[in-house]
Chains A and B, each alone.
Chain A
Amino acid sequence: MNAIHKAKRSYITRNVKLDNATQLLDIPPSAGDLLLCKVDKIRQHTRLEDIHGRRNHLYEGDTIIVVAAQRYATDQFCAELPTQQDTCHLVAAGGIAGHVIHRSGQVKAPTEITLLGVLGDQQGNTLNLSAFAPISKIPITQEDIPVLVIIGSDMNAGKTTTACACINGLTRQGIKTAGAKLTGTGAGPDYWRMHDAGANAVVDFLDAGHPSTIGLSNDNFLDLLQKFKSAAIAAHCQVLILEIADGILQPETRALINSSRFVQQITGAIVAADSATSAMMVTERITRANFPVYAISGLFSRSPIACQEVAQESGLPVFTASNLAKPTAIDYLYSALKQDYSRAHILAG
């Protein structure tokens, strides 16, 4: 169908074989369904990221291929699945279509789009992201790998910057490193950034067929993590850097950090925070949940005085992003990771 192949294709469809799409179905969209939409009114999102990371400018009247999903973003939109009746919105530049129910005062109203139909194949089946999950094909291994998790105070607290500094520093030391994003909304910048930092492998929930992770259970996340570990091991990586999106009060993140089964899969943690106070709050909260916290970083570390406050209060190393990538920090982190990984396996017998 020509209209589908002429449309601007969003980042979130990067694993999808669009040749399978031959018709538009007039049915209510489910989570993960691929949608053809028309851009009506451009507001907050003026561009759409494509599968190569280029952010295409949008024009009213453009047709776009996006995916139906919920979104939870404290500094942007909270959105439900789109329906055929309600106004449809572009709620993330990576290509998420939803219906906005809450908007942060920091952003404009969402870009309005019209749902033209759900993409279907020749047999009339909907095309859903869950059918395009490359990491599901990697055999699950019994081998394990040290996992350093990055946990943040909020959106835009510096989690990806922290994760990428670790990836870059470890890689420069000759340690093969995988980067992964366990939770969040499908978006390219973090994915590409981990590649740019030098990761030997990068995977995210999109590679397991999830457009976003809103509503996933702890079992879903444990399954995802196992797949990420297998992907990292298949790529001969020695360490997995795992980023968890949003802050620790976000419902899925909150449930995850309180899961002892999840904590047992993690070797160590770095906190990324936007202020000294939030850094301490997150550090204490996740220590109580039994995460070994190795260091603290994030947006607040741009202030030397804030760094001093956190270092004095926590007794832990506080690193700016640039210092985190240096051999001094990486030597310390890697030695702590190796020691705790080996200790955990001895205790597990």
Chain B
Amino acid sequence: MSSSLNNELPEPGKSSRITFAASLSLPMWVFRPSHETNSQKVIIAVHGISRNSIEQIEAYSLLAEKHGLWLLAPEFSEENFPGYQRLAKDPLSPRSDLALNRLLLAYKTQRNITDLKIHLCGYSGGAQFAHRYALLHPYNLASLTLVSAGWYTFPNDQQRFPRGLDNWPLWLGTARLKEFLNIPTIVMVGSKDTIRDGSLRTSERLDRDQGINRLQRAEAWVNAANRAKEQQHLPADITLHLMPKQRHDFGKNARRSDMLAHISKFWTLH
């Protein structure tokens, strides 16, 4: 069991792939900043359907270095978590949200951290995971960054789960809308992310309710989330940032747009 495990945390300025024995099903890539400035915050970057966590580490390590924070990029494999974006396909499927929480517990105990807040970022399918995770586990999030999600769970009862909160499945636990709406959140999408490619979920109802492409769906979700915040007497401060001239490509969005700079600025406020 232990021969293929590695729980050795990387040296400063380096990254390594780690599998904690207490979280066997969810390996991760970890980047350790050269100079840690805050051990009580961590960045978690969740991959899209390509399940490429190395790409996440490569991009976000620039921000981790700048902010002096550790960066974790979990690897939700197709084999272990086929429906990770929705947390689980059904009650008998492994839960991606609880797997992440077990991983975080192992990380915290290994580093003797008692109180940990998370900057949670997700791209595409990872953004789907991130906002659904945040609905269930809002308490330890420092911020939520959703980039280029294909579709969303809207924060209201007007649509049925998973498109909305109506009929939220009990087996997942309780959705905590009020606490979710309190999380500082930004949404980003490429201004040219308008192609209905094969990885975009489409249906008549989804197109009608959320829009026909990622750009429209991001706009619709931000509007709905801000309306929900207003109903809770919270400031409607969720912003949508369009990455100029960008299509649906994490590598290019990270390298050729202001995506990382915008996230960095957002974090300095939270």
Contact = CB atoms under 8 A, between A and B. Distances in A.
B136 to A, nearest CB: 9
A317 B98 contact: yes
A107 interface: no
A344 B24 contact: yes
Given A290-B21, A343-B80, A316 B1 contact: no
10 contacts: A288-B109, A288-B110, A292-B22, A292-B23, A315-B101, A316-B101, A316-B102, A340-B24, A343-B80, A348-B1
A179 B23 CA distance: 25
B104 A315 contact: yes
A287 B25 CA distance: 15
A215 interface: no
A312 interface: yes
Interface in A335-349: 335-336, 339-340, 343-344, 347-349
Interface size of A as a range:
20 to 34
Contacts of A348: 1, 3
Contacts of A340: 24-25
A347 B24 contact: yes
A328 B170 contact: yes
Given A287-B105, A292-B24, A315 B137 contact: yes
Contacts of A292: 21-24, 102
Contacts of A263: 21
Given A312-B139, A344-B1, A347-B5, A290 B94 contact: no
B260 interface: no
Contacts of B109: 284, 287-288
B95 A332 contact: yes
Interface string B127-145: 0000000000101100000
Interface string B1-27: 111110000000000000111111100
B3 A347 contact: yes
A226 B84 CA distance: 35
Interface string A35-56: 0000000000000000000000
Contact of A347 (B4, B80, B137): B4
Nearest to B5: A347
Contacts of A284: 105, 108-109
B92 interface: yes
A327 B92 CA distance: 10
B91 interface: yes
Contact of B94 (A293, A317, A335): A335
A137 B66 CA distance: 64
Category for how many chain B residues contact A: 20 to 34
Contacts of B140: 312, 315
B93 A335 contact: yes
A228 interface: no
A349 B22 contact: no
A217 interface: no
A291 B105 CA distance: 11
B198 interface: no
A349 B4 CA distance: 9
Interface in A304-346: 312, 314-317, 327-328, 331-332, 334-336, 339-340, 343-344
A335 B92 contact: yes
B105 A290 contact: no
Contacts of A349: 3-4
B169 to A, nearest CB: 9
Contacts of B2: 260, 264, 347
A290 B22 contact: yes
B23 to A, nearest CB: 6
A177 interface: no
Contacts of B92: 331, 334-335
A168 interface: no
Interface in B11-55: 19-25
A245 to B, nearest CB: 23
Given A317-B98, A347-B5, A348-B1, A332 B105 contact: no
A136 to B, nearest CB: 27
Contacts of A10: none
B25 A328 contact: no
B22 A291 contact: yes
Contacts of B20: 290
A328 B102 CA distance: 19
A162 interface: no
A343 B25 contact: yes
A283 interface: yes
